[in-house]
């Protein structure tokens, strides 16, 4: 799969975050990139990335300070780029609830700017990162990401004669990423108490490495308009807490505003146009009114039954406590 992406020119928005750094590492070591543009607005994080990945050692790297809210800066950065990974977002649920307009400016208006710049600059393919919170959203962050998903999927309808094609990848919580519960629990172990919002709560889990590789592989499989969902396991939040800190007391503190008991990645309504593959699902775009063309993937895999729902509480795959600890050690998220 990687052959088609060798010696290519890349740009990653929000590239100084957890996903961007891991994507940069994999692209540099496995894809022989001709050029990689690191596009983000945080100069300190870019400085830290430069320390780890200096341009004197990696001549293909370009560090661009910029915000996806700035359409002109995006157009400048996209010049000569073939593939774009759109990872920039305001993603903290409580912060988005309190600062809704800021979340909309970045997650929705920023998505529009990325789409327009990709079309204008002749980008080949764009994949936008989504979240399980975008399916049946109950918080503003999820609502902005659902809107973003729709924008990217439907961007294929108005790219016209331009080559740009757009798809979306949606997955669950990333182990060890900034703001995730794993580093939070690690920090609270010394207090002897781990706060649990609700003992029934379940979540999807994926490692950063798995998430990046799924996105890169999706560039090869995509035609435009698909929303890809990896088959990943679930875990109860109480099992996570017990595995990480068996000596700690678990204190029930109640669900936070905008939080769900269980997460969904494919809804019943989406099931009508979802195809199941060996390791992932593909939600295909609904045909436009009056259109007769079938999507190229319409006959691939197996059609999901109507009413199918990919939810963290009814998932077929589950992670046990010992399995989780092995994964955390393997990926150096806790001391070995």
Any idea which residues carry the catalytic annotation? Answer: 133
Residues 6+ away with beta carbon under 8 Å from 32: 6, 7
CA distance 23 to 12: 9
The helix/strand count (H/E) of the chain reads as: 11, 17
194 Cα distance to chain centroid: 27
End-to-end CA distance of the chain: give it in Å, rounded: 33
- Determine the Cα–Cα distance for residues 211 and 306; give it in Å rounded to an integer: 27
- The CA distance from 248 to 322, in Å, is 17
Rounded to whole angstroms, the Cα distance separating 285 from 272 reads 11
Q: Could you give the CA distance from residue 78 to residue 122 in angstroms, rounded to a whole number?
A: 9
| Contact assessment for residue 144 and residue 107, using Cβ atoms and an 8 Å cutoff | yes
Burial class, 222, CB count within 10 angstroms (exposed 0-12 / middle 13-18 / buried 19+): buried
């Amino acid at each position: 799969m990687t052959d088609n992406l060798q010696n290519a020119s890349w740009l990653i928005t929000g590239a100084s975050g957890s996903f961007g750094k891991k994507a940069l590492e994999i692209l540099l070591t496995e894809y022989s990139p001709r050029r990689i543009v690191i596009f983000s607005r945080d100069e300190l994080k870019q400085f830290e990335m430069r320390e780890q990945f200096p341009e004197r050692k990696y001549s293909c790297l370009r560090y661009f300070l910029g915000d996806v809210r700035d359409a002109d800066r995006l157009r400048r950065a996209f010049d000569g780029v073939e593939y774009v990974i759109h990872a920039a977002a305001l993603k903290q649920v409580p912060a988005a609830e309190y600062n809704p307009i800021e979340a909309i400016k970045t997650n929705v208006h920023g998505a529009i700017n990325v789409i327009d710049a990709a079309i204008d600059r002749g980008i080949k393919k764009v994949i936008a990162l989504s979240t399980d919170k975008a399916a049946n959203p109950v918080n503003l962050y999820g609502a902005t990401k659902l809107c973003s998903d729709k924008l990217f999927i439907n961007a294929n309808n108005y790219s016209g004669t331009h080559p740009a094609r757009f798809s979306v990848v949606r997955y669950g919580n990333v182990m060890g990423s900034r703001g995730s519960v794993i580093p939070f629990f690690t920090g609270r172990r010394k207090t002897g108490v781990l706060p649990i919002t609700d003992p029934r709560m379940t979540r999807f889990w994926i490692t950063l490495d798995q998430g990046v590789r799924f996105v890169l592989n999706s560039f090869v499989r995509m035609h435009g308009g698909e929303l890809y969902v990896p088959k990943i396991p679930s875990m109860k939040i109480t099992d996570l807490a017990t595995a990480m800190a068996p000596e700690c007391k678990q204190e029930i503190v109640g669900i936070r505003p905008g939080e769900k008991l269980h997460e969904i990645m494919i809804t019943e309504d989406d099931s009508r146009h979802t195809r199941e593959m060996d390791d992932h699902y593909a939600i295909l775009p609904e045909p436009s009114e009056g259109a007769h063309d079938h999507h190229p993937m319409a006959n691939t895999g197996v059609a999901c039954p109507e009413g199918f729902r990919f939810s963290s509480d009814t998932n077929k795959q589950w992670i046990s406590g010992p399995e989780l600890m092995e994964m955390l050690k393997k990926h150096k998220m806790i001391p070995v």
